[in-house]
Amino acid sequence: MKNTFEFLYYCLYRMFALIKRVGEKDENLASSFFSILLSTKTILLLFLLRYTEVKNIFLLHPYDRIFKVSIVMIFVVWYFICRYYFLRKENYKRIVDFYEKKYSGKNRKLALIGIIYSICTFLLFILPSLLQ
């Protein structure tokens, strides 16, 4: 699981490294965007509750606000987890070095994996609402 987590981070890092920019570091962008993708998938799990017996509980007065706050908190928690793991502990250096050595010369393919992962995550989030 940890290897998949790090590989997807590296693919997102490669995706952001395709565009040359001044001032913003690619590892910061990859960490922040990865937290958005992870929180989107986690929120999708909450939306699956609408197909169960407890679907109406989130429409009642105190629970609707709890539900909205929990959605925001999911993003905040994933943001700080990614920020701590990749940037604060400086694991991004180890991850980038490892995958640079392992997949040297395949930067565009790994960036393509990052792009596909991003698009699929958002499609997975949007698709259930389109099917109804």
pLDDT of amino acid 82 = 96
Tell me which of 89 and 68 has the higher pLDDT.
89
Tell me if 63 sits within 8 A of 3, measured CB to CB: no
Q: How does residue 112 score in pLDDT terms, banded at 50, 70 and 90?
A: very high
| Distance between CA atoms of residues 111 and 124, nearest Å | 20
Three-class secondary structure assignment of 49-102: HHHCCCHHHHHCHHHHHHHHHHHHHHHHHHHHHHHHHHHHCCHHHHHHHHHHHH
| pLDDT tens column, 94-103 | 999 999 999 9
Determine which helix (DSSP H) or strand (DSSP E) holds 128, and give its type and residue range.
helix 107-131
| Distance between CA atoms of residues 53 and 38, nearest Å | 26
| pLDDT tens column, 70-83 | 889 999 999 999 99
